[in-house]
Structure formats: structure tokens, C-alpha cells
Amino acid sequence: MDIVRVHGGLTPGMEGVIDFSANINPLGPPAPVLEGLRDRMRDAIATYPDPLCGALKGALSSYLGVGEGNIIVGNGSTQLIYLLVNALRPSRALVIEPSFSEYRNALILSGSRVEDFSLREEGGFCLPVRDLLRVLSRGYDMVFLANPSSPRGEFISADGVMEIARVTERLGTWLVVDEAFIDFCGGGSFAGKAVEMERVIVLRSMTKFFSLPGLRLGYGISGKGVIDLLSRHLPPWSVNGPAQVAGILALKERGFVERTLSWLEGERGWMIRAIRAVEGLQPYPSHTNFLLIRIEREGINSRGLQEMLLSRGIYVRDCSSFRGLGDRFFRVAILGRDENRLLLEALKDIFKG
């Protein structure tokens, strides 16, 4: 089985390294979340968590503008990927590549036949919607669509997703829209439309934007019948007490959301310009908090660059494990200006001359 489990994030023994490989908001977690967790930690640990996540669903309902019955909460959105694949059992599925490897892993482990829709380098790894619709007409039980995409960072408008959804609804294909990074776009979620459709499931994550990866917290939005079906497959107590508390508190932090979006717009623009100025590197435009970068200098590949940077205390994501990307691509998260400057200085030194 072609199971690939290479992800961003530091591993034990990498203390003191600046991590550009995991796409976590450097402005968080919000201070009120940490303070609230400290105040509630004893009860959150010493009692069983609410197995239905009632209070958290209520907070999400207000945040999203959808009914509580249209929401399922899980131990990170990755758990929900495996859950929905096991519950819906697609026999033939389409994955848009390059993308998050756990779509394919979940499908393979469930016995699905998995086919690729490969984005092309000459098209900037952007999604050609018309071409996708033609391929979907061949007949699939499920298709995964990341919006924004990873590792590219392309954003498709809600109207664009609707064009795809209308076709998948007509064909009887499950459309899974992974919006793990949508919060960084400041809008454009398909969640409000998904609740009105029969075969659309939107997945979202609280770990990246609110900087809570250690707590594992994700959720899905769909029609009530779909959520009821998926909920029957969800193990009891999937979301621990501290995660539920943190999620409720984070959703109240509208000021944190606004600060993040304002910071990201400026820092992302600065970083793209700075990387473009390094001869031998070409960053792709992004709507997210990360950048995909192509190496155009002969004699340097992504693995070698990762090792050279690690020797300087900097860790980036080697993208050679992504299907459809070779050893000329790497990805970096957008961190604070001081960390970003250190990365740029290291890249300039490596690519000088």
C-alpha cells in the first residue's frame, strides 16, 4: 500500500530550531485562551468531556451562521477525513494532487480505488475547473478538494466551488471541501452552502489559525442527515476537555482574527518580494500563511536545501513527498519578521553567486 506519512513539524531532538515547516499562526494562541485554560484546567482534566461537544457546537454555530445539527466536531480535521471515508465507503475516488497525503491514505486503507487529477506546473498548480468537471463526468463516488490548496495556497471563490458542487450533486459524487486554511483568507467559506446540499461536506480546522495544534480540534459542516450518519461512526469522547474549552474561548476572539489578517497581508507581501529577490528561487502567489517555492538553481534540491538550512537552525518543508512535485520544491510558513529575516539571510547566503 502506498501510504505516505510525511508532514511538517519538528521531531524530538530538534529543540532550538526555528520551524518553518508547520503552518501555524505565530500570533497565537490568543492570550485569553491560555488564561481561560489555566482557570478551567482542573475541571477540564478531572471530568469526562462532553461527548456531544454541545457548548462548542453552539459557539461554532454562532461563528459560522449554521445550525448546531449541521456540525460535527473531531480530534482534528484529519480524524474526520478518516471518519467520513470509513462511513461513506467510496469505491472509486478522485484526489486533486499535489495535496494533503492523508486523503489518499484514508481512501487506500478503506479499500477505495484512488485516481489522481494532477495539477500542472506550467499552470502554476492552479485548478482548471473546466478540466476537473470533464474528469468528474467519468463517475466517482468521492472527490477531495482543498480550498485553499496545500502546498500551493490557491484560493477558489465560493462561486467557483459551487460550480463544482452542482456537478458533483448531479453525478451523485461526494464532494469533500477541506478548508483547513480558509480562516487565513478572511472569508469565502462554502460552509453556509454545504448545509443546503445533499453530498457536500466541508472540513475545517481550529489548530492552524488559532495556533492550537497540540490540542487537535477540527470540525465538519454538512446537511443534518449527513452529520447524523457521520456522528454514528465517531468514537465517544473524541474531543478532550481542554480542547473543547480552548475552542469555545478562541471563537470569541474576533480581535485576534482581525489582527492576524492584517498582519498576514503585510508580512506575506514582504516575504514574497524578499524571496523573489533571491536569484534561483521562485515563490508562488498564496492566499494563506505559507509559500510554495521552486528552486531554479542547478545543483541544489529540496532535500539538500532542507539539510543546509537545518545546519543553521532553520527547518523548512521538503515537498518532494507530495505527489506531482519533484525535488525542486519546498514550502515555508510565514512567521514573525525576525524569524523571516533569519530565513531570508540564510537563503541569500546559500544562493549567492
Domains of the chain are: 18-28+254-351 (3.90.1150.10), 31-250 (3.40.640.10)
Query: What mean pLDDT do residues 103-111 have?
Result: 96
In the predicted structure, residue 319 carries a pLDDT above the cut 70: yes
Task: Give DSSP secondary structure letters for 118-170.
Answer: EPPGGGTT---HHHHHHHHTT--SEEEEESS-TTT-----HHHHHHHHHHHHH
Q: Average pLDDT over the chain, rounded to whole?
A: 96
As a whole number of angstroms, the distance between CA 109 and CA 101 comes to 12
Cell of 138: 467519468
For residue 282, the tally of other CB atoms under 10 A from its CB is: 14
As a whole number of angstroms, the distance between CA 96 and CA 326 comes to 16
Helices 224-232 and 77-88 pack at an angle, to 10 degrees, of 90
Host H or E run for residue 293: strand 290-295
Query: What mean pLDDT do residues 7-24 have?
Result: 90
- At residue 144, φ and ψ (nearest 5 deg) are -100, 130
In this prediction, residue 13 has a pLDDT band, given cuts at 50, 70 and 90, of confident
Residue 147: the pLDDT is 97
pLDDT above 90: percentage of residues in the chain: 95
pLDDT above 70: percentage of residues in the chain: 99
Query: pLDDT of 152-192, one tens digit each?
Result: 999 999 899 999 999 999 999 999 999 999 999 999 999 99
As a whole number of angstroms, the distance between CA 237 and CA 52 comes to 8
- At residue 227, φ and ψ (nearest 5 deg) are -65, -40
Q: Angle 108-326-12 (CA atoms, 0-180°, nearest 5)?
A: 70
User: Which residues lie closer than 8 Å to 293 by C-beta, 6 or more apart?
Assistant: 275, 281, 282, 283, 284, 329, 330, 331, 332
Q: If you count them, how many residues does the chain have? A: 353
Query: pLDDT of 272-309, one tens digit each?
Result: 999 999 999 999 999 999 999 999 999 999 999 999 99
Task: Give DSSP secondary structure letters for 38-75.
Answer: HHHHHHHHHS---TT-HHHHHHHHHHHTS-GGGEEEES
In the predicted structure, residue 111 carries a pLDDT above the cut 90: yes
Query: pLDDT of 208-243, one tens digit each?
Result: 999 999 999 999 999 999 999 999 999 999 999 999
Residue 1: the pLDDT is 56
Host H or E run for residue 94: strand 92-97
In the predicted structure, residue 87 carries a pLDDT above the cut 80: yes
Query: pLDDT of 123-161, one tens digit each?
Result: 999 999 999 999 999 999 999 999 999 999 999 998 999
Burial of 352 (0-12, 13-18, 19+ CB in 10 A): exposed
Query: What mean pLDDT do residues 242-271 have?
Result: 97
For residue 288, the tally of other CB atoms under 10 A from its CB is: 26
Give just the sign of the alpha carbon dihedral 277, 280, 284, 289: negative
